[in-house]
Structure 1
Amino acid sequence: MIGGFSGAEYLVKRGKSPWFAGHLEVKHNDIIVTSRGRNVSEVIIPVSCLISVTYRNSKLILTSIPKIDYSRSVVEISLAGEAQSLLKLSTFLNSKIPKAGGAQEERNLLVYINPFAGTGVALAKWDVVKKILKKAGVRTHVIRTKSQNHALNHLRKADLSEYSGVVSVSGDGLAHEVLNGMYGRDDWNQIRNKFNFGIVPGGSGNAIHCSLLYQMKESFNDEVIVSALNLARGKSVDADYIMCETENRKFLSMFGVSWGLIPDCDINSEVIRWAGFMRVYIFLILRLLSPRYYGGRVHFLPSNDKVKEIPELPKIGDPVPKNWTTVEGDFLIVYACKQSWLDYSTIFVPDAKLDDGIIYLVVCRAPLSLRESIKLLLNPSARDLHSNIFIVPVSAFRIEINNPNDPLTVDAEKLTCHTVQGRIVSPGCKMLVNLTDK
């Protein structure tokens, strides 16, 4: 059978269920186990969901994380039979599991966990992931962060030679730290396209991971087990980032830069962090009843599919090039966004993809009535609500703020400056993501 395994008869056991006589074959990238006897049943496991194939004690154990009734779960199938047949099947199936950084048993991940992130569930979520990684033969070295920029400063000087990737277990803030810790290394340009970056959602909003789940067509309810599948499979894909700059420093962003209403609610709602991502919406309702507008200028370079090389950003104090567009006045929202979701409840830019080479610039200009603001709150991804609301795909942007104390964030972390600009870098880095339709 071309690209498959012709199959054989085995004794089969699923989890803790009794052994039964069955037939196994691999066909069209699916493992098909069919029971024999009066009540015939069939179990189909996509090869793309396999995380380990282990031969021990004369048995072959297949561990996978397939979708069953639209939900992910860990499935373990044991096979007993003729040794040569089992070893042949083991060799074939192991060839289908990505081997990031070498043989499967050599994979080792450097993991940063913020135990205080969000509602304090990061450690509990990591415990679930860790057990699955152990089944997949993936080793981990865990560092619990103790303060802001702990991961950033540690990663800048860490010896990464024994690791195949780095993982953030927290919200978007720690992901920002980890990415910029790698960016601050002397060997950044050598490692960015081969050293893998993974995420386990442990914060309040987890926008980056929500957007990954959306692109993977996965349920938010399965976020932890899907993150485990991503890490266990070891498969990496290209991911964009935004190269950003202010008057004082340069940094990378994978989520985006936001000015105005959204960071105002995000920053000020920190006092009720216990409420999770819904804390932002409590403040949002209050702000819409008494809106604030923010003065400044927004410049952008529209995206052009015909232009392969994105030009370097102008110097922060120089005028923008003539082929950029400028909008000036008072704004309610300005968001240079790279992700499709803001949190678990808000899809913001449905078309955004991990590697589409586009920054989506969302602009909401003043004035906006209360009725229009409520419409925007109920459906923030709609773009036909008002002529003052528009979205444009861009390759680069600059935001010039009249008042440097205006609410401004990068990757949901507070930023203070007069001017911030950025451009897309595509491909930017490698992310551990098991993109598949099954």
Structure 2
Amino acid sequence: MEKDASGPDPSRQRNGFVGVLYGEFTDSLNDRVRYSVSLTESALTIKRISSSPGRTKVVFDLTDCVGCRAYRGPDSSDVGAYFTAYFYPFKRRWMSAGVARQRVEQCFRVALVQDPLANLQEAERWAHAIRDASAVQAPRRDGVAYMEVRPPCRVMILVNPHSGRGQALQLFTGHIQGMLTEAAVPYTLVLTEHKNHARELVRKADLTKWDALVIMSGDGLLFEVINGLMEREDWQEAIQTPLGILPGGSGNALAASIHHYSQSPPAWNEELLLSCGFMLCKGLVSSLDLVSIHLASQQRLFSFLSLAWGFVADVDIESEKYRHVGAIRFLMGTLVRLASLRVYQGRLAYLPVREAPKRPQGSIKANLEPPTPQHPSMCSSFPCPFIPNSSPNQNSRHKHNSTNSNHNTITNSSNNAITTKKPETQSDVKPGAPVDSLLPGLDQPVPENWTVVKEEDFVLVLAIYQSHLAEDLWTVPGAMADDGLIHLFYVTAGISRPALLRLFLAMEKGAHLACGCPHLVYEKVTALRLEPISAQGMITVDGEMVEHGPVQAQIHPGLARLICG
């Protein structure tokens, strides 16, 4: 008979500790091997019952447990029942140094009585207790507010079968499918068939049927999903749908960032996939900043990763031809672009954070206080050729709670125009969409409290809001998914090819800010504007190429929700 967990239970006191579930079971493959098993609120302890000395016990932290199931054996004459717990602890790698999550399965046979139903009920009691305890012991970080996606939940998993080396579906079936089964996470698998398929799907989907949307691809598919959600009439509710990422592309920047935020040891390739799958099964959800980006055509996009112009963007797009080799494509693209290093002419301005950023190690040109702009505005003395002639109407009905509160109306003396209120300029942006209160119109000069960069010759400009630009590029060591910041890097002309290569090699360990490169500048900002002058040089948003021309962006803290650890 099943025992009431709330009533007196001799098994809970058998070893003298109230609150501990205790039992003695046999090995699932060998009845002559017996174990004593005890469950506390934080650990499962297994000790082999033997008269001979040797290994005494093994302790599994329930933080590493994704699930447990009870079941009858395949032999109908077997009166015993079984329960199996699934763990993904950090263990030493076989072939290299360091540790990584590795699957461990612990299975026990319950045959306390000759009644098969009673044995199954006891196995189910243990499985239920292990599941409940492991859910409480999810790997939370101190100081982070979490929500949870708790089983049973309904997950839509979008897979781009052509991403990376074309192995995303095989990676899913080989590594993730079984893990979701172990965690009892039901899901529906959707294979994308063409560009913007995911964008169209989530724009029209009935999101009440899903508790989470998970992407198994590179970063481009998540870009589609986020923009599809933001194009909905109910975007405010839709963008609250928890989003998950499973690395199946070449860059996998967000997956690497999420792994880094979990404070886990570095991981790559299948180890990174296993880590992200583990976090998906644990179901912790936190906030994700999004960046609103306006293009010259009045199109508005929402970005979760980066805005790039120059060297980084060119390498990203030009290396597409090497996609079949996987992540090494970026190294190949970097070497090719270094061989014919370009200088890109343009204007850059930004709104620095109000508090003084900490000076990084090395002699980096970081402004500790917002400097006086070199010019009163950008485009103040001539109109931008890329901007439509009609100025958008200013909208002052909405206020946005930004990390930078200095967004009062500013009158710029150069043209006496109000420059701090930004209208909605994209025709398909829905009413009530987040207002970019820090941005003027692209045909208006920037406010006087912005910093205008003196230099106009650049090798690259990179605005990033995650810690990693790729699996092996730790670009912003101190970044978090919800820190409310755009981390702006730019490299000015004059840097040598070896020095630029050294920067990217140092970035693999997050040490580029300590290189002391006089051409590298790092700023923490909440908004920015970039105006290319030269025709060469691509612009990318989250690794996707967009139209060439003036672009500006503003951070929206905590707008989306992200499954993480």
Normalised by the size of structure 2, how large is the TM-score?
0.71
| Candidates 260, 268, 272, aligned match of 1:220 | 268
Is structure 2 residue 295 aligned with structure 1 residue 246?
yes
1:279 counterpart letter in structure 2: R
Of 41, 47, 57, which residue of structure 2 is paired with 1:42?
Answer: 57
Provide Cα deviations, 1:263-310, integer angstroms capped at 9, x if missing partner.
Answer: 111111212211222222223223223311111111111123597456
Is 1:12–1:78's contact at 8 Å kept on the other side of the alignment?
no
Q: Does 1:73 align with 2:102?
A: yes
Shift of 1:165: 0.5
| Paired residue secondary structure (1:297) | strand
2:280 aligned partner, one-letter code: L
- 2:312 is the alignment partner of 1:262: yes
Aligned equivalent of 1:63, options 86, 101, 108 = 86
Picking from 179, 192, 195, the partner of 1:145 is 192
The answer to whether 1:30 aligns with 2:43 is yes
1:389 corresponds to which of 520, 541, 554: 520
C-alpha distance in structure 1 between counterparts of 2:124 and 2:340, whole Å: 69
Once residues 192 and 12 of structure 1 are traced to their aligned partners in structure 2, the CA distance between those partners, rounded to angstroms, is: 49
Decide whether aligned partners of structure 1 residues 59 and 9 sit closer, same or farther in structure 2, where only a CA change above 3 A counts. same
* Distance in 2 of aligned mates of 1:133 and 1:23: 25
Deviations along 1:39-89, one digit per CA (max 9) or x if unpaired, are 343222222222223333343332222222322222222343666765554
Are 1:236 and 2:285 matched, yes or no? yes
2:225 paired residue among 178, 188, 193: 178
Q: 1:11 maps to what in 2?
A: 25
Structure 2 CA distance for aligned equivalents of residues 352 and 220 of structure 1: 19
Aligned equivalent of 1:375: 502
**Whole-Å separation in 1 of the counterparts to 2:531 and 2:305:** 20
AA aligned opposite 2:235: W
Q: Is this contact kept in 1: 2:247–2:273, CA < 8 A?
A: yes
1:298-323 deviations in Å (ceiling 9; x for gaps):
11111235974565222222211211
Q: Which runs of 5 or more structure 1 residues have no equivalent in the other structure? A: none
1:399 maps onto 2:530 in alignment: yes
Greater displacement, 347-356 / 378-387: 378-387
3-state SS in 2 of match to 1:161: helix
Q: Which residue of 1 aligns with 2:182?
A: 135
Deviation at 1:368, TM superposition (A): 1.3
> Once structures 1 and 2 are overlaid, which stretch shifts more, 93-102 or 33-42?
93-102
- 1:84-99 matches, within 5 Å, as 89-96=126-133, 97=135
Alignment of 1:271-286 (within 5 A): 271-286=321-336
Distance 1:180 1:4, change over 3 A: farther
- C-alpha deviation, 1:372, in angstroms: 2.3
5+ long unaligned stretches in structure 2: 1-11, 73-80, 93-98, 113-118, 139-146, 357-401, 408-436
Partner of residue 52, structure 1: 67
1:207 aligns with one of 253, 275, 279: 253
C-alpha contact 2:68 2:182 (8 A) present in aligned 1: no
The answer to whether 1:410 aligns with 2:541 is yes
Residue 32 of structure 1: SS of its match in structure 2? strand
| Matched residue, 2:487 | 360
Alpha-carbon offset, residue 406 of structure 1:
2.2
- Structure 1 371/65 Cα, relative in aligned 2: closer, same or farther at 3 Å? closer
- The code of the aligned residue for 2:258 comes to L
Measured in 1, the distance between the counterparts of 2:563 and 2:222 equals 13
For residues 324-365 of structure 1, the C-alpha deviation after alignment (integer angstroms, 9 at most, x for no partner) is: 111141100100011222223322222222222211100101
Distance 1:288 1:166 in 2: 39
Match of 1:118 in 2: 164
Cα RMSD of the aligned pairs, angstroms, is 2.7
Structure 1 position 410, deviation (Å): 0.7
Are the structure 2 counterparts of residues 416 and 18 from structure 1 closer, same or farther at C-alpha, using a change threshold of 3 Å? farther
**What percentage of aligned pairs have identical amino acids?**
26
Query: Which of 372-381 and 93-102 deviates more?
Result: 93-102
Map residues 279-294 of structure 1 onto 2, 5 A cutoff: 279-294=329-344
Alpha-carbon distance change, 188 to 63 in structure 1, aligned in 2, over 3 angstroms: same
Structure with the largest fraction of strand = 1
Change (3 A) 1:303 1:81: farther
Q: Which residues in structure 2 correspond to 1:278-317 (within 5 Å)?
A: 278-304=328-354, 308=403, 311=407, 312=437, 313-317=439-443
TM-score, with normalisation over the residues of structure 1?
Answer: 0.90
1:90 deviation in Å?
Answer: 4.1
**Which residue does 2:557 correspond to in 1?**
426
Structure 1's 91 and 135: CA in aligned 2 closer, same or farther, altered over 3 A?
closer
Shift of the 8–426 alpha-carbon distance from structure 1 to 2, 3 Å rule, reads same
CA offset digits 1:368-416 (Å, max 9, x no partner) = 1234223223324423432221111111111111145521111111111
Conserved 8 A contact 1:10-1:21: yes
1:334 is paired with a residue whose SS is strand
Larger Rg: 2
Q: Which secondary structure state, in structure 2, belongs to the residue aligned with residue 379 of structure 1?
A: helix
**Is 1:335 matched with 2:335?**
no
In 2, distance between residues paired with 1:16 and 1:341? 48
In the superposition, relative to structure 1, how do residues 188 and 46 fare at CA in structure 2: closer, same or farther (>3 Å)? farther
